[in-house]
Amino acid sequence: MKNEDKPNDQEIEWIYSTKKIVDSLNKLQSSEDSVMKGFKDLSNKMKKSNTEFKSYVGLKQEEVRLFIQLVNRKSDMVSNQDLNKLREHVKQIENAIEVDTEILNSFIDISEAYKEYQKALKDFTKSGEKLNKNQKDWHDSSANLSKALSSQMTPGHKLDKLEKAIANNKITVSKGYEEYKHQERFVETGVLRLNQAWAKLKTVIKNIGW
């Protein structure tokens, strides 16, 4: 067996580091899942509210047309002042709906971005867990060989088996690390997409004429 098949001190440190990262990823995934569900729920509620808001303003616009007719007919019930106040109220509602719709669209974008990001994070975490398990198997095989070598009673065929296991474990770890890096790129893309969605919301809020 080649000595480089066994994990060196730095690689053993890497194994423990990966374990800490995977533990952190599991906690992060759980927290981000709650945020994602919160945004999805909020977006749905805002969408329903926005629909009702538009329905309400439609009725108020119809009321404006009715007030115009009443004023034209010199109704004792509705004055020009009433009509002007109603028109101003409807205008304010229309402005509010425009702002509400822009914010709603931004929240929907954030909700969708969180969904993509969360999926990438979940796949990345799984690949990290698999990698760390393979790393542990590699480390354990190396430790078992060291223990076997310390005993003069260990038969040669068992040593050969342990040496082969270490070499195979190293290959498995190498492949697992490539998959780990591959999944991490999806997380990076997800974070970028999420940041863009947040930036869009920030711009929408900044451009609102309060």
Q: Is the pLDDT of residue 75 over 70?
A: yes
| CATH number for the domain that contains residue 34 | 1.20.1270
> For residues 166 and 142, is the Cβ–Cβ distance under 8 A?
yes
Rounded Cα gap, residues 64 and 31, in angstroms: 49
Q: Is the pLDDT of residue 124 over 80?
A: yes
C-alpha distance from residue 48 to each of 86, 110, 137, 200 (Å): 25, 17, 52, 22
Rounded Cα gap, residues 159 and 167, in angstroms: 12
At 153, the pLDDT band (50, 70, 90 cuts) reads: confident
- Count of domains forming the chain: 1
Say what the pLDDT of residue 8 is: 92
Determine the structural domain holding residue 107 and report its residue range. 3-207
CB under 8 Å to 67, separation ≥6 — which residues?
78, 82, 83, 86
At 209, the pLDDT band (50, 70, 90 cuts) reads: low
At 3, the pLDDT band (50, 70, 90 cuts) reads: low
* Confidence (pTM): 0.83
